[in-house]
Amino acid sequence: MRKFFKFISNDGHFGLNVIYFILRILVILVAIDQLVSRNYENLFLCILTLVLFLVPSFIEKRIHIDIPDTLEVIILLFIFSAEILGEIQEYYILFPYWDTVLHTINGFLAAAIGFSLIDILNKNDRFAISLSPVFVALVAFCFSMTIGVLWEFFEFGVDQLLGYDMQKDTFVQSINTVLLNPNGANVPVHVNIQSLIVNGEPWSAYIDLGLYDTMMDLIVNFIGAAVFSVFGYFYIKRRGKGFFLKGIIPRLKTKIES
């Protein structure tokens, strides 16, 4: 059985192989259910999930970057939670903070990737650079925030071009705006929204069209990136003695396997 798990993931880490196997089986079962239901869009998401599961192994073998098992497990669970549970099982709707939690984790993971890229260059003899811990932490933070912004661009583009609703809307009960100032001055007035009519249909509140969702995603991405950057700073200051980050920071393989 262990050889079978080793064949499934091709890396020989038994615990990680079990998680790989369980997640893949779950995705395949969901894919079969979507195929029977003729929901081909969700079927494509299942196929995409299986492809994304291969990315960590591809990076390790092709780019010769060692991804710690802990980080790899987090990445796999993140992909499964976002695509299968979030999109197909509709956890984004069932659990209001599901998207918020995932964006927080994404900010943390993206900062880890940005941090490891700079840390690898710092340790590489071919590059005549040696960056301070503060600068490495700052780059990791900026890298994570850039990824978060690019993702929001992607969501906005998909919504506008394909008619989706990735940037979920929020009901707003009040607004502050200069547009409704009766004197036309650049002074905001507070407006409580009690009711409005849209296409003859009464609404109980105004819909913000994704603004709150986007800003909340960026805020929690900021929190995740900032938390990792602080840990990363002390990790470098103590020369990699931090137990917590040592298990999730990718490293350059010391011996390239043929």
pLDDT tens digit sequence for 36-87: 999 999 999 999 999 999 998 888 888 778 888 888 999 999 999 999 999 9
**Whole-number percent of the chain with pLDDT over 70:** 88
**Whole-number percent of the chain with pLDDT over 90:** 51
The dihedral through the CA atoms of 51, 154, 175, 207 has a sign that is: negative
The pLDDT, as a whole number, for residue 79 is 95
d(CA 137, CA 219): 18
Residues 52/27, Cβ–Cβ less than 8 Å: no
The dihedral through the CA atoms of 133, 135, 138, 143 has a sign that is: negative
The pLDDT, as a whole number, for residue 5 is 39
Token digits of residue 131: 């960056």
The pLDDT, as a whole number, for residue 225 is 96
Q: Per residue in 221-240, pLDDT tens?
A: 999 999 999 988 888 887 65
Higher per-residue pLDDT: 149 or 3? 149
Interval 145-173 mean pLDDT: 92
Of the candidates 44, 47, 54, the one whose C-alpha atom is nearest the C-alpha of residue 20 is 54
- Map residue 118 onto helix, strand or coil: helix
pTM: 0.82
- Contacts of residue 79, Cβ cutoff 8 Å, sequence gap at least 6: 49, 52, 53
Answer whether residue 2 shows pLDDT above 60: no
